[in-house]
Amino acid sequence: MASSSRSWRYNVFPSFHGPDVRVTFMSHLKKQFQHNGIIAFNDEGIERSKLIGTELIRSIRESRISIVVLSENYGSSSWCLNELLEILKCQESAGQIVMTVFYKVDPCDVRKQMGEFGKTFKETCEGKTETQVHKWIHALTHVANIAGEHSVNWNNEAKMIEKIALNVSDNLNATPSRDFDGMVGLEGHLGKIQCLLILENDEPMTLGISGPAGIGKTTIARALYNQLSPDFPLRYFMENVGGSYRNIGCGDHGSKLRLQEELLLHILNQTNINVCHLDVISERLCNQKVLIVLDDVDSLDQLDALAKDIYHFGSGSRIIVTTKDQELLERYGITNTYHVGFPSNGEALEIFCRYAFRRNSPKYGFEKLAIRVAELCGNLPLGLRVVGSSLGGKSGDEWEVIIHRLETSLDEDLERVLRVGYETLHEKDQALFLHIAIFFNNKDQDYVKSMLHDCNLNVEHGLRNLVNRSLIDISTNGEIVMHSLLQQMARQVIQRQEPWKRHILIDPREICDVLEYETGTRTVCGIYFDTSETGEVFVSKGALKRMRNLQFLTVHKRKHCEKDIVCIPQDLEFPPRLKLLHWEVYPRKSLPMRFHLENLVELNMRDSQLEKLWEGSQPLTNLKKMDLAMSCHLKELPDLSNATNLERLNLNDCESLVEIPSSFSNLHKLKALSILRNFPDISRNVSKFSISVEELDQVPESIRLWSRLRVLTITSKGKLKSLTHLPQSVKHLHLSCIGEQRIPYFKKSLQRVELYLNSCRSSLLREDCEPKEGLTCPYDTPYTQLDYTNCFKLDREARTAILTEHFAQGWACLPGGEVPVEFDHQAKGNSVTIHPVSNMSLTIFKVCVLISPNQQTRESEQLACCRISKGIEEISVYAIPRIQRKHLFLFPSYLLQESTSREVVFTFSSELEIVECGVQIWKDESERNQSAYSKPGNGEEEDVSNNQQDTYNISRAWDEEEAEEYVNLNPAKRTKR
């Protein structure tokens, strides 16, 4: 039984020979225990005999620590010797801590049963069985090898007693506690860190733990310290080193001495110690096995003072350093490091629920609100804890108020923690941080470098610093990612700046005044203008031109309101250094005549009133991105022959655009294109392509030459027969069809297929179009999303294929009136219990839920599935499209376990009515689906089987963000407890 999983009746059980020590040493020790609040077993009133009674045995077993006081006549008592046997049995079976005191007896005499101790012991052994004597000898030998206090080493018995009581307190404090029981994700962190510590290796070692503020580094380090402490005689957790000692000025000699003094006082349990030189630590701790945790270190001087002498310590010593600054560890030469990442979306939801609801999942009716808050907190554990605690016990209306507040401002406690990393940055790195927060979050780092290369910010060096301080992260595909709460903190930093010092304007009212009254200055380099709820805004002719250094202009609407109108003059002048122009719902039919394009890197005019952009050939060498999606009045595109560096072009839903200029063939760097109507003659370098067409019987053969195409999106009203011309490079296909549709066959190389056939009539191909060699039905791909919502004329063959196919990842939604009989574990209502018979470590379930609209009015509703096995919960949340009648929703569920659970319970909750549910156990599927669990190789950037990615709705639109993250979509939000 693990010691951390039970409660103890007594702190200490003392085992001693009464005539030797009861009225002397033990009376003083018990008094000291009382003084220190230590609960010790009291044997007074218990009649002594040769056999220890059941009460005494129970008392030993219910004590956390046993202290064996070995005196000259301890071995003369069979009572004491039998107590010792029981104590050592508890040490082995229950993890009981055993401490020793050698009172006026030599440990060697106890170990070898010599001298007076041995003489009295031999007398006790007379007449006993050989087995009994052997047990006693073994017990005495074992206990004598446990290091303890030796009375001959003390000239002051009172001091010795104080030290013993202090050691008992330390052991009680270091006992693995329930403080961290059930903490989401903690077990995984501790397991990985212990592997890095290599505890079986006796060589002293230093380990660094890094991660952003509020991620849980201190919590992990504290839990690790509690777990490891019993194995280290000397140990100390030095809290908040950076915060507590930042003002000392560790660069000077005296400050380093004070740091060392602080460490030695605690680790040696001294009340006073004099550190007169920097070698005292290595001298005092030389050859001692120590565990030292230095929490939240933020300077090299702190490490130099406290972690320099690791190799002077005893074998097995460990120093653990937590910090927000990864570079600090690298500069000090600590290469053995662990980076604490953000919890998955499912884990974040569970963390939040534990503080908001005191349970692992949302209360009924709060599911959508809980997911929304978890998203706003950006999965930061500190944010989830603070916000969850503030929402506990409040009504839905109160939640809405707090959520709205969270969208615009940060909790004070959160902001204080998050600002620490920002405030320690150099001035240029602070400016870079603010630019990323406002304009460039989730943007490619090369793109950001091109945007900021002439801003005197030393972008390369600055990005590295921000990564090392855990203020940003660089994803595997090169995107800069900043946490949403850090973005919020950045906005508050800007708002607190003096108005005349602001380089970036974000306050809508301030921006309205600047644009109407031309009060902007050369200081301004960026404007981020949310026109929601601003009413009518008037822009003066020279308002932008006055801000000569303006490079980044973003105008967008977070909320749509017809009263929010931006009025701009015909002859508005844009500043000459403009690099980013992002203006949603641009109100005029064309861009100004005097528009400087030579520095422009990105032009984003989504949902604009534009009919054309500009006349003639323009200097577009720096232009990399153009997004004109949903500009339904756009009739023509300009000459793009000079846009030789253009990489992304989105013309989605540009309904009036009927002709593509011949200059498209010159766009050799084009990687992503979204277009309406026709497959154009474009560069073969394109990797992501989206097209929306009225009729499409077959894709053209020329697409075979697009050798780098990986993601293809097709929206069509036609009757696709097959997609046989796809190049081998295509891995992910998104097909959205309307009307009567037969499902085409695809190349077997596809890893992911998503079909959205809402309200259409669908069938599989019949005998007139048999699948050819190398082609496959879409349901056989590793990941499949099948949206057959409201397809009430779905034929039997297609329905059977969907219901019987064992897709490894994904989901399917189709009309249905009852759970099919293949799902042999069925129940009415929202819960089903099954009893697996498989002995495999991986059990695969196929789940089917019959849902009814129940007056559904929203575009989508959520379905939550909670699976409980062996007390472990796993929660999955799916988005269900709007349904008109009863539908079946199907998805797989994987259970990894060392041994099969006797019982697995599936429980479902939703605003939809759950009529019935069923589960089918897939047998012998481990080999069949093995390939579905492996990551793509040969340069693939994404892991298509990543269960931690989520989608909360089904989007039909194609945009840059969807293209970039396309292969990571998965509608399941999962969490485990």
The residues with which 826 forms a beta bridge, in sequence order, are: 918
**Whole-angstrom distance, CA of residue 452 vs CA of residue 599:** 12
Which candidate in 72, 83, 911, 925 is catalytic?
83
492 Cβ contact partners less than 8 Å away, ≥ 6 residues apart? 409, 410, 415
Q: How big is the chain, counted in residues? A: 977
The closest of 223, 198, 81, 202 to 143, measured between CA atoms, is 81
The end-to-end CA distance of the chain, in Å, is 21
Q: DSSP for 587-652? A: -SSS--SS---TT--EEE-TT---S---SS----TT--EEE-TT-TT-------TT-TT--EEE-T
**Whole-angstrom distance, CA of residue 309 vs CA of residue 306:** 8
**Whole-angstrom distance, CA of residue 907 vs CA of residue 891:** 14
Between the alpha carbon of residue 871 and those of residues 3, 182, 833, the distances in Å are 20, 11, 14
526 Cβ contact partners less than 8 Å away, ≥ 6 residues apart? 435, 438, 439, 503, 504, 505, 550, 551, 552, 553
Between the alpha carbon of residue 872 and those of residues 318, 367, 448, the distances in Å are 33, 20, 44
- Our answer to whether residue 83 is catalytic in this structure is yes
**Whole-angstrom distance, CA of residue 149 vs CA of residue 147:** 7
DSSP state of 132: H
What does the longest C-alpha to C-alpha distance in the chain come to? 116
Contact 642, 665 (CB under 8 A): no
Contact 555, 531 (CB under 8 A): yes
Q: Is 750 exposed, middle or buried (0-12, 13-18, 19+ CB in 10 A)?
A: buried
Between the alpha carbon of residue 251 and those of residues 255, 298, 320, the distances in Å are 7, 13, 22
The token pair at 46 is 């218990």
Strands 904-910 and 831-834: antiparallel
Contact 185, 298 (CB under 8 A): no
Contact 421, 212 (CB under 8 A): yes
**Whole-angstrom distance, CA of residue 694 vs CA of residue 676:** 9
**Using DSSP, how many helices (H) and how many strands (E) does the chain show?**
28, 41
Q: Where would I find the beta strands (DSSP E) of 239-392?
A: 290-294, 318-323, 337-339
**Whole-angstrom distance, CA of residue 876 vs CA of residue 346:** 8
Contact 481, 472 (CB under 8 A): yes
DSSP state of 937: -
CA pseudo-torsion sign 173, 178, 183, 188: positive
The closest of 797, 842, 796, 848 to 822, measured between CA atoms, is 848
**Catalytically active residues, by annotation:** 83
